Amino acid sequence: MPTLTLPVPQLVFDPPAGPPPIEKPVTVRLGDVLYPDAQALTTDDVRTLGAFVYRGPLGSEEIWDDKGQSWTAAPANADALASMSPLPFSPAAGEPSPWKTMLVAVGQKDKSGNDRFVKAQAGNPVYRLRAYAFAVRNGVEYRALGSPSPDLLFVSAADTTRFTVVLDTADASTATAARLLLKNGSLATAAYLELRATSGQEVEVANCTSSGAVLARITLSSDGSIHLAPAAGGSIVLDGPLEAELVTYQPSGGGGRLTL
């Protein structure tokens, strides 16, 4: 069967720079699909024009089977894809490329109820798209599978947001701890406020180093006491008068604790 020349799918992210957040759709653009005589594919000739989504390392990829709602071993050639349904391209008149589709990752499930797409951890999983076309011109059938797009690794918008709230359960109605945190420019934790209702009710406030390690900490304990914990080598500084009913301290020269 004669073949077509398919361009590599172009992935357009929002925002354009950096890895794409899984919460936002990815625009997929496709340039002209060409016949062997260099004529461009037209809408009248199209029987199927879309993008198949793959995941995993090259050479052992899986492909998303939309009919079976599952990831399965990728077929070896374009003919084997005839019974499968790709993500369909539609004409995009007046836009940078003549064909366009949209990949929506968040909320998509497989037949077992698992997330179809997940954010990358340590560089995995990685996704790719390949354009697929089946066309008929002057009674002659043409079929082709294109080369893969650049690797697609998702992040979560929550991971790149400077201020966020983190719960200890997915369901807010059953949460027993909540942490409000602010990240620095390197997205390491700069400071946090944590509310806990686990083995008692506590409040903890801390600031952190540039790498996210805790510096000083204030804890309102479940027994009503207040714990002040400066960083190693740090001090508790009072910029004003101190009034107290009872003070217990450890003398610098050692020995037992004394009470004023």
- Range 20-46 average pLDDT: 95
What would the 3-class secondary structure string for 21-69 be? Answer: ECCCCEEEEECCCECCCCCECCCCCEEEEEEEEEECCCCCCEEEECCCC
- Range 115-136 average pLDDT: 95
Residue with tokens 């050692």: 254
Is 256 domain-assigned?
no
17 and 137 in a single domain? The answer is yes
Q: What is the pLDDT of residue 32?
A: 97
Is 155 domain-assigned?
no
15 and 139 in a single domain? The answer is yes
34 and 87 in a single domain? The answer is yes
User: Residues with Cβ < 8 Å from 225, sequence gap 6 or more?
Assistant: none
- The DSSP code for 115 is B
Range of the domain at 174: 161-238
Q: What is the pLDDT of residue 77?
A: 82
85 and 27 in a single domain? The answer is yes
Is 254 domain-assigned?
no
- Range 202-215 average pLDDT: 95
Number of domains present in the structure of the chain = 2
- Range 55-71 average pLDDT: 94
193 and 110 in a single domain? The answer is no
- Range 12-31 average pLDDT: 90
206 and 82 in a single domain? The answer is no
Whether the pLDDT of residue 72 is over 90: the answer is yes
Q: What is the pLDDT of residue 254?
A: 82
Whether the pLDDT of residue 116 is over 90: the answer is yes
131 and 180 in a single domain? The answer is no
Q: What is the pLDDT of residue 50?
A: 97
90 and 143 in a single domain? The answer is yes
Is 67 domain-assigned?
yes
- pTM, two decimals, is 0.67
40 and 139 in a single domain? The answer is yes
Residue with tokens 């479940």: 222
Give the end of a domain, one of 96, 125, 148. 148
62 and 132 in a single domain? The answer is yes
Helix/strand/coil percentages in the chain, nearest 5: 5, 45, 55
Q: What is the pLDDT of residue 178?
A: 94
Question: What's the rounded Cα separation, in Å, for the pair 53 and 74?
Answer: 10
Question: Minimum mean pLDDT among 8-12, 107-111, 196-200, 206-210: which range?
Answer: 196-200
Summarised one tens digit per residue, pLDDT across range 135-192 is 999 999 999 999 999 999 998 877 778 898 888 887 888 999 999 999 998 888 999 9
- Range 26-45 average pLDDT: 96
Summarised one tens digit per residue, pLDDT across range 234-244 is 999 999 998 98
Using DSSP's 3-state secondary structure scheme, residue 107 falls into coil
70 and 121 in a single domain? The answer is yes
Cβ atoms of 117 and 22 within 8 Å: the answer is: yes
35 and 130 in a single domain? The answer is yes
